Chain A
């Protein structure tokens, strides 16, 4: 149980285009989902927290107009990287907290490797 999927697993796009990454909780409802970014040989950095049906909360330094997050249902959150640039190339990981659980219970997706040419 407690499986989180991400789609796509890898994406290559041209500079200036937008890319959407999906995060799904497959066998549980997730009130809260988190989006992380991981640079090579560095830690996972929390980008934003999204709660179903409300606006995402972005961490300091994360541009909310560039990284659009939508959490329209209890099983799906999407991250859209708008007007992507090479510096946005990274590994994006989502996690989900089951409904009625504390946010310290998080199940992680397998990640999405974004490469912007």
Chain B
């Protein structure tokens, strides 16, 4: 069965530090990849997505992610985090044979001023 792994469960950073959150998936075929963010008390929102084309995808609020097919990875990055980036981040995958979103367990990011 397809699965999504997020190895960082809890990340604590100071403002202006760089961020990279790992995401790996298990599926050998074509995938669509997503990063969602859930700010405290709010609903899930789409940060960015990859369907095809340039493997470096830019999203909202300065986030970007790189799809590396050979590594089955879709890591999320931001060069300089802000306190307002404190949230839970979820990586998700849709595979062409299931048409369903499969989520990782999430990474809780805390940014301190």
Q: Which residues of A contact B (CB under 8 A)?
A: 4, 34, 36, 41-46, 49, 93, 95, 103-104, 106, 108-111
Contacts and interface: CB of A to CB of B under 8 A. Distances in A.
Given A43-B104, A43-B106, A109 B43 contact: yes
Interface stretch (B13-21, B60-68, B79-87, B93-101): B93-101
7 contacts: A41-B105, A43-B103, A44-B44, A44-B101, A93-B43, A104-B34, A106-B101
Contacts of A106: 101
A103 B42 contact: no
Contact of B43 (A45, A103, A104, A111): A111
A93 B4 CA distance: 19
Given A43-B90, A49-B100, A106-B101, A93 B44 contact: yes
A44 B103 contact: yes
Contacts of B36: 108
Nearest to A109: B43
Given A41-B9, A44-B103, 15 more contacts: A4-B43, A34-B101, A36-B103, A41-B105, A41-B106, A43-B90, A46-B100, A46-B102, A49-B100, A93-B43, A104-B101, A108-B44, A108-B45, A110-B43, A111-B43
A52 to B, nearest CB: 17
B32 A44 contact: no
Top 7 closest pairs, chain A to chain B, by CB: A108-B44, A110-B43, A43-B103, A44-B103, A43-B105, A108-B43, A104-B94
Contacts of B32: 104
